[in-house]
Structure 1
Amino acid sequence: MSPHETDLATLRALNARFIHNFVTNDAAGHSTILHPDFIEIGTTGARQDRAAYLLEWASAFDPAVITYWDMRDENIAVYGDVALVRAATKWVRHGVTGMTCYTDTYLRVGAQWLCVQAQLTPVAEKNYPPDRTIVCEYHDGVQVAR
């Protein structure tokens, strides 16, 4: 594998881990892939620092509330020691379906990629990426084989 292919594979695995950490409320594991200066910009434009984000992360996914979750339309671009990981998540909360796209910005720190920023944007239904782009899927908090 070329260095670029290795970076893409590493970032693809980190993105899958990011999603799995959310669905399993694994804040401790998630902390290991976040840069010390991490910031999240949520769907309303509100910003959270690393500590507040991880505190929320520990209990944000409730399978009684979020009965469906997938990640789709993954696109990863590497620019030297910076990478943009872009994808969308489709979810069903309290019976209401919605979608959010995200861009996670990673920095290469030594031999490790760390997420320094996550930015979320709501997606209008007419712009939903198709189901054929689903990468991973969860029903009631349990990952479904694809």
Structure 2
Amino acid sequence: MDKSEATRQLRALNARFIHNFVTNDVPSHDAITHADFTYVSSEGVRRGRNEYLRRWATGFDPDVIIYWDYRDEHIGVFGNIGLVWSVNKHVIVEAGKEVIGMTGYTDTYLLEDGAWKCIQAQLVPMAPDNYPSDATIVRRYIRGVKYESIESLNLVP
């Protein structure tokens, strides 16, 4: 597979990965994770595939996480290894107030038998000085629904 096709496929997988999270879609996510998948949280906690997928079913609550996007997407292809680097911005409502943050992630994919499977997802907290700009947004969700434009939208009821 040439690099441009691999990049196209990994970009589509990243969009699917994020959509799976926002919609709590375990079957779709199960299909793109490798049997030996490992998750590493921003706190350094490691979880195997089964526990990770179990948590995936309820990981996104649109009443709590009222805004979610991914941005600053970069994709690297190194033979049969693909790396997807990106950042998520979230707005969480806590005690009626918006709390804004960003988390960087690296998802590592392995090309096996003609299909890319995620073998590791690792998160890292982002310091505000390193937040990528809104100009790098790839896709955004409001209360779990994909939006193309969110200008002048009041997020907190």
> Under TM normalisation by the shorter chain, which class is it?
over 0.9
The residue that corresponds to 2:7 in the other structure is 8
Question: In structure 1, how many angstroms separate the alpha carbons of the residues matched to 2:136 and 2:49?
Answer: 30
Q: Which runs of 4+ in 1 moved over 6 A?
A: none
Residues 86-105 of structure 1: pairs in structure 2 closer than 5 A: 86-94=85-93, 95-105=98-108
Residues 1-146 of structure 1: pairs in structure 2 closer than 5 A: 3-94=2-93, 95-145=98-148
Q: Deviations over 1:59-102 (max 9, x none)?
A: 11000000000000000000000011000000011110000000
The one-letter amino acid paired with 1:128 is Y
Q: Aligned with 1:48: secondary structure?
A: strand
Q: Which runs of 5+ in 1 are unaligned?
A: none
Larger Rg: 2
Question: In structure 1, how many angstroms separate the alpha carbons of the residues matched to 2:108 and 2:144?
Answer: 26
Q: Aligned with 1:113: secondary structure?
A: strand
Q: Aligned with 1:86: secondary structure?
A: strand
Give the Å deviation of 1:3: 1.7
Give the Å deviation of 1:24: 0.2
The residue that corresponds to 2:153 in the other structure is none
Give the Å deviation of 1:47: 0.4
The one-letter amino acid paired with 1:74 is E
The one-letter amino acid paired with 1:106 is Y
Q: Aligned with 2:39: secondary structure?
A: strand
Q: What percent of counterpart residues are identical?
A: 51
Question: In structure 1, how many angstroms separate the alpha carbons of the residues matched to 2:3 and 2:119?
Answer: 20
Question: In structure 2, how many angstroms separate the alpha carbons of the residues matched to 1:7 and 1:127?
Answer: 28
Question: In structure 2, how many angstroms separate the alpha carbons of the residues matched to 1:124 and 1:93?
Answer: 17
Question: In structure 1, how many angstroms separate the alpha carbons of the residues matched to 2:131 and 2:125?
Answer: 10
The one-letter amino acid paired with 1:143 is K
Q: Aligned with 1:28: secondary structure?
A: helix
Aligned alpha-carbon RMSD (Å)? 0.9
Give the Å deviation of 1:28: 1.0
The one-letter amino acid paired with 1:96 is V
Question: In structure 2, how many angstroms separate the alpha carbons of the residues matched to 1:101 and 1:47?
Answer: 16
Question: In structure 2, how many angstroms separate the alpha carbons of the residues matched to 1:121 and 1:27?
Answer: 23
Q: Which runs of 5+ in 2 are unaligned?
A: 150-157
Question: In structure 2, how many angstroms separate the alpha carbons of the residues matched to 1:110 and 1:3?
Answer: 15
